[in-house]
Amino acid sequence: NRNKEAVRMSRQVVQNMPCTLNFVKNIILVREGGLVGQGARGVGGIWAGNLWYDCSGGKPDFDGLDWEKWRKCGKEIGGAYADPRFENADNFDFRLKSDSPAFALGFEPWDYSVSGRRKTK
């Protein structure tokens, strides 16, 4: 019972917390579930130049909105909803093919294999 109360209280704190997010020039690819989490419409900040795609073949879900409504509510400026055209996302090869719509949004190819944590001595 205490756990349920803690979850309820933490959910209320998160829902009432003012939040802003600068979410710019990202590629978002999902296989299942929504492209953004529940409550994303209430998150302020800048959402721009992103490339979104749901490869499940279903209707894209942006916190209960379709792509056009998501854009019209101001949650994506200058972005696109399209297949990013990765070389082979199923095998974690996220290099962009030469005809990727990401390039039209200003994305530049980079060697993602060198990103992430590094061991230090």
pTM for this entry: 0.76
Give which of 75, 56, 55 is closest to 64, Cα–Cα: 75
Cα 63 to the chain's mean position, in Å? 12
* Residues paired with residue 29 on neighbouring β-strands, in sequence order: 53
pLDDT value of position 41: 82
Per-residue pLDDT of the chain (121 residues; tens, 9 = 90+): 554 554 444 444 445 555 677 889 999 999 888 888 888 888 888 889 999 999 988 889 999 999 999 999 888 999 999 999 999 999 988 899 999 999 999 998 887 777 777 676 6
pLDDT value of position 11: 46
* Dist CA 93 CA 77 (whole Å): 28
Q: Are 26 and 48 in contact (CB under 8 A)?
A: no
pLDDT value of position 3: 46
